[in-house]
Structure 1
Amino acid sequence: MASRGRRGGVLVREDEPRRDEWAEQQAPAQQGPVLPPPPPVDYGVFMQGLVQATQTQAHTQAALQAQLEAQICLDGAYKRCTAGKS
């Protein structure tokens, strides 16, 4: 009924598929054309773009913060905005 296979003494039943057969059954079938690999990445250019995006985000965030503070002052919270700013 059960026999010892070549896998370090692991019992394998004859009516059960082996692990490699099971993996083949579980692998999804490829659909559509096979695409070529992507081109190599120039990490210097990538890092330059990342730094620029980070700086732009920091500037945008600072501008939005200043705009929010100005809007609060215009909405009638003048005393709160000017408290401690002399």
Structure 2
Amino acid sequence: MASRGRHGGASAREDEPRLDEREEQQAPAPQGPVLPPLPPVDYEVFMQGLVQAMQTQAHTQAALQAQLEAQIYLDGSYERCTTGKS
């Protein structure tokens, strides 16, 4: 006997609503107050702020890298000065 993939032999289209219909029926109602739409975005201002933030980050990263390299250099110099002295 050929199986249709479901017990009982009935196809899904005959005895159940389609998956799309079930999802629409089960969608929860929104909770709480409905917020007003967001104001329009001025993309020129947004991009200027983004560029400024990226430049600030680049400068900060360069300063921290220079500080780290100087600290490593000074630590190495200190170790060379104190090695071998008792």
Same fold flag (TM > 0.5): yes
- More divergent stretch after superposition (26-35 vs 61-70): 26-35
Gaps of 5+ in 1: 4-10, 79-86
Runs of 4+ in 1 over 4 A off after TM superposition: none
Please tell me whether Structure 1 or Structure 2 has the larger radius of gyration of its CA atoms.
2
Gaps of 5+ in 2: 1-8, 79-86
Q: Would you tell me which structure has more strand in proportion to its own residues?
A: 1
Alignment coverage as a number of residue pairs:
70
Distance (Å, rounded) in 2 between the aligned partners of 1:53 and 1:24: 43
- CA-based RMSD of the aligned residues comes to 2.3
State the identity as a percent.
81
Q: TM-score, normalised by structure 1?
A: 0.68
Higher relative contact order (CA 8 A, sep 6+): 1
TM-score (norm 2): 0.68
Equivalent positions of 1:1-86 (< 5 A) are 12-13=13-14, 15-77=15-77
